[in-house]
Amino acid sequence: MGTFYEKYGGEDTISKVVDYFYDLVLADDTVNHFFKNTDMDKQRRHQTKFISYALGGPNKYSGQSMAKVHEGMNLQPAHFDAIVKHLHSALTHFGVSEGDIDDALTKVGSLREDILYK
């Protein structure tokens, strides 16, 4: 069936998931303050490339390491968990199967140590 990226329609679909995901994130007072000075159009494009690559798409991601990107933010487990919850909701909203969501969230979870407490 190919990669997750191919199975669900490539970057077009990932872009829609990312847009919906950030709508949820920006409505959540637990985490939205991290984005108050962020160019959200740029952030959405950047995140689409990163998630596309993470889910088996082409490597168009040219950003910094996860540790570097989150440096100085002092993200806590509650913040990380809120982001994971919103990603789960966004993937569910677009009809991604629970098994594939589990796979995707396992990949995201593998980044936890690179993101927290920086």
Full-model pTM = 0.90
Cβ pair 31, 79 in contact under 8 A: yes
- C-alpha 17: how far from its chain's center? 9
pLDDT of residue 1 exceeding 70: no
Number of domains in the chain: 1
Q: What does the pLDDT look like over 16-32, one tens digit per residue?
A: 999 999 999 999 999 99
Q: What does the pLDDT look like over 29-87, one tens digit per residue?
A: 999 999 999 999 999 998 998 888 878 888 777 778 888 989 999 999 999 999 999 99
For the record, the structure tokens of 95 come out as: 């009809």
Q: Which residue has the tokens 């490539």?
A: 10
Cβ pair 104, 72 in contact under 8 A: no
Look up the CATH number of the domain holding residue 111.
Answer: 1.10.490.10
Look up the domain containing 9 and give its range.
4-115
Q: Give me the pLDDT at residue 62, please.
A: 75
For the record, the structure tokens of 37 come out as: 């000075």
